[in-house]
Amino acid sequence: MKAEVILMKCPEARRIYGVRVEEWEGDWFRTWAFPIDEKRAAHEGFDKVKIKGNLSPADEFNGCPYCKSIKFVQCDRCGKLSCWNNEERITCGWCGRSGNVVATEDQINVKGGGY
């Protein structure tokens, strides 16, 4: 089993958090989320992690530590991940771009950095 930590951002709280992901049989699963600040995330190297594939929540996934959402979207401009609470229109927590939801958990390509 391979495990990594990726970064997501909560648009409501405007704060980043870490998400532990594990690769099981070729797919990635989100297993645990925790608050973290940008300095510590960079020190731990979480801003350099790259993953590609499906990114589903595991049964025990606790969701965003701020808004509690277990869903996310990937921004079509910056490529980063933000919480999603089922709204039709979203605003990226990272770059602020607003738009309609076009993709969520299937076949993502994520890399860290650029807070």
Asked whether the predicted pLDDT for residue 113 surpasses 60, the reply is no
Pairing of strands 98-100, 89-91: antiparallel
Asked whether the predicted pLDDT for residue 40 surpasses 50, the reply is yes
- Quote the pLDDT of residue 108: 65
Q: What is the mean pLDDT of residues 64-90?
A: 88
- Quote the pLDDT of residue 3: 94
Pairing of strands 27-35, 55-57: parallel
- Quote the pLDDT of residue 115: 40
Using pLDDT thresholds of 50, 70 and 90, give the confidence band for residue 112: low
Q: Which of 57, 69, 87 is nearest to 9 (CA)?
A: 69
1 vs 2, higher pLDDT? 2
Residues of the chain with pLDDT > 70, as a percent, come to 87
Token pair for 90: 């979203």
Q: Which domain holds residue 58?
A: 2-111
Token pair for 82: 């933000």
Q: How far apart are CA 55 and CA 35, in angstroms?
A: 19
Length of the chain: 115
Using pLDDT thresholds of 50, 70 and 90, give the confidence band for residue 8: very high
- Quote the pLDDT of residue 75: 85
- Quote the pLDDT of residue 11: 92
Give how many domains the chain has, as a whole number: 1
